[in-house]
């Protein structure tokens, strides 16, 4: 019989802090992007690489991070992830050129891909013995994700306005060192024998990166140009190679049989399109506030806080209760349609618009849609997986969301640039470009809603059966929060 760790609640604080920081890393840079653009010489189209470099590395290597955690030991990989995260933060903070900055962000993403799956493994080890304690621990851990997103928006504005943009990365250094010092609270995990599918990890990450690069470059060199066609073909070949590898190796990163899990495929499609709609909305809304409405960094961060607060309240207090009553399918589809409505509302922005009329109400509608759809889609992707494949299902759905985010942002940046978003200082042209991006994001969200209605199997609400969500269903809430 395993011994209950007497320091498990303090260990949970360490794990929740890690979750908080990994998610904050996707939101803290948003407000700082215009200042980074000025300081490092990014073009309007290249600026997205500050975000996408992190997302590609994080999403592309999550499955590898989970596998390494299983083989080498979760605490060792957790420590390694923080060492990598700190190193990436140093590079990103010290960057004096655009591509050094992108490289630093990529290293940060690698660190995140090691931290996230190992943290979940450690949490299950600490609390898996007691379902009641596990539920409390999961709620605390899950709340750290929207809290990190909210704090990132606010702190990004504070640091950029009153210090300088490198501070959005410097903050990770002391917190990372403190987290490393506290890892003695975490349980040691013995390593075990097994192989690591490095070739598969390289293939899927390279394929994703090449696809995003091709879409980003297409408006400049032409969609029908030889370069674009070859790059997209190369990306498709690498992703097909990944599938071939997964079918042929003895211990793949993603056993293809997992896709037989009921509703896993439809939930992942919903998550991909959710990421393709939500992340571009966040990105372009921040640019509209600063480049068109003339907000400073702090004011822009403060303007986005109502949206993140609403997300945090709904995700931690309301959405789970609605799932109990209605089931996940109506919430996923309904949330995606509400998100699409908010995005269409945002597309009506004007060069002389105002926050209270053009931004606040529409952004709150969009945030409501996101908060309704995200957790149900995540839990649906997990609910049918057997216990031994729960970690794999989690890694897949997290990867899917990150892939959707990266490809959606690349495609909508290309669309926005073609409609005038590259003309800095030309407010009507910028507004037209951003409006086009919001319309494209709305189309992605609406498509996700339609697919959910047509493809996803329904399920009886837990309230109708008198059951409670299982630990497997609940354990991933908030793991890849926006």
pLDDT digits (tens, 9 = 90+) for 391-427: 566 677 777 887 888 788 878 888 888 888 767 678 8
Q: How confident is the model at residue 277 (pLDDT cuts 50, 70, 90)?
A: very high
Which range is least confidently modeled, 137-151, 175-189, 290-304? Answer: 137-151
Residue 479: pLDDT above 70? no
Residue 245 is encoded by which pair of tokens?
């590898």
**pLDDT tens digits for range 214-245:** 877 776 777 788 888 999 999 999 999 999 99
Mean pLDDT of 337-341: 96
Q: How confident is the model at residue 477 (pLDDT cuts 50, 70, 90)?
A: very low
Of these ranges, 177-186, 204-213, 292-301, the one predicted with the greatest mean pLDDT is: 177-186
Q: How confident is the model at residue 81 (pLDDT cuts 50, 70, 90)?
A: very high
Please name which of 215, 185, 231, 150 lies closest in space to residue 415, comparing C-alpha atoms: 215
Residue 386 has what pLDDT?
61
Q: How confident is the model at residue 142 (pLDDT cuts 50, 70, 90)?
A: low
Helix residue ranges, H only, 163-197: 167-170, 172-182
HSE toward the beta carbon, residue 446, CA cutoff 13 A? 11
Residue 461 has what pLDDT?
57
Mean pLDDT of 193-218: 80
Distance between CA atoms of residues 154 and 144, nearest Å: 15
- CA 166, chain centre distance (Å): 22
Residue 466: pLDDT above 50? no
Residue 478: pLDDT above 50? no
Residue 385: pLDDT above 70? no
Mean pLDDT of 104-112: 92
Residue of 397 and 262 predicted with greater confidence: 397
Distance between CA atoms of residues 293 and 295, nearest Å: 6
Distance between CA atoms of residues 133 and 110, nearest Å: 31
Q: Which residue has the tokens 């354990």?
A: 475
Please name which of 91, 104, 9, 8 lies closest in space to residue 49, comparing C-alpha atoms: 104
């Amino acid at each position: 019989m395993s011994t209950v760790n007497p320091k498990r609640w303090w260990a949970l604080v360490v794990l929740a802090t890690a979750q908080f920081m990994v998610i904050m890393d996707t939101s803290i840079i948003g407000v700082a992007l215009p200042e980074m653009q000025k300081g490092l010489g990014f073009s309007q189209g290249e600026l997205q690489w500050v975000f996408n470099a992190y997302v590609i590395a994080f999403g592309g290597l999550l499955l590898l991070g989970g596998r390494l955690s299983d083989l080498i030991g979760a605490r060792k990989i957790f420590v390694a992830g923080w060492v990598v995260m700190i190193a990436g933060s140093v590079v990103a903070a010290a960057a004096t050129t655009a591509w050094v900055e992108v490289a630093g962000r990529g290293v940060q993403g690698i660190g995140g891909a090691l931290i996230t799956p190992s943290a979940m493994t450690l949490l299950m080890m600490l609390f898996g013995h007691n379902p009641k304690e596990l539920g409390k621990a999961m709620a605390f851990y899950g709340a750290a994700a929207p809290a990190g997103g909210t704090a990132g928006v606010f702190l990004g504005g504070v640091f950029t306005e009153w210090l300088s943009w490198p501070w959005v990365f410097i903050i990770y250094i002391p917190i990372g060192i403190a987290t490393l010092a506290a890892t003695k609270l975490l349980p040691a995990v013995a390593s075990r024998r097994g192989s690591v599918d490095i070739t598969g990890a390289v293939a899927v990450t390279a394929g994703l990166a090449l696809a995003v690069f091709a879409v980003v470059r297409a408006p400049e060199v032409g969609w029908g140009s030889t370069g674009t066609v070859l790059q997209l073909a190369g990306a498709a070949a690498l992703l097909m190679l990944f599938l071939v590898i997964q079918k042929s190796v003895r211990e793949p990163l993603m056993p293809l049989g997992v896709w037989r899990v009921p509703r896993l495929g439809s939930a992942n499609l919903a998550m991909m399109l959710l990421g393709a709609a939500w992340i571009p909305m966040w990105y372009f809304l921040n640019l509209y506030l600063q480049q068109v409405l003339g907000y400073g960094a702090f004011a822009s961060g403060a303007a986005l806080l109502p949206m993140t607060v609403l997300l945090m309240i709904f995700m931690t207090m309301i959405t789970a209760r609605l799932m109990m009553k209605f089931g996940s399918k109506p919430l996923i589809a309904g949330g995606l349609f509400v998100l699409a409505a908010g995005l269409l509302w945002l597309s009506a922005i004007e060069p002389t618009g105002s926050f209270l009329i053009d931004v606040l109400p529409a952004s709150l509608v969009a945030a409501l849609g996101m908060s309704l759809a995200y957790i149900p889609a995540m839990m649906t992707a997990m609910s049918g997986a057997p216990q031994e494949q729960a970690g794999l299902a989690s890694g897949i759905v997290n990867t899917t969301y990150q892939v959707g985010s990266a490809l959606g942002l690349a495609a909508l940046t290309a669309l926005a640039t073609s409609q005038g978003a590259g003309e800095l200082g030309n407010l009507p042209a910028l507004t037209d470009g951003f409006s086009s991006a919001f319309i494209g994001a709305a189309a992605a969200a609406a498509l996700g809603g339609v697919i959910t209605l047509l493809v996803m199997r329904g399920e009886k609400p837990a309230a109708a059966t008198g059951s409670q969500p299982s630990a497997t269903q609940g354990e991933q809430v908030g793991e890849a929060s926006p």
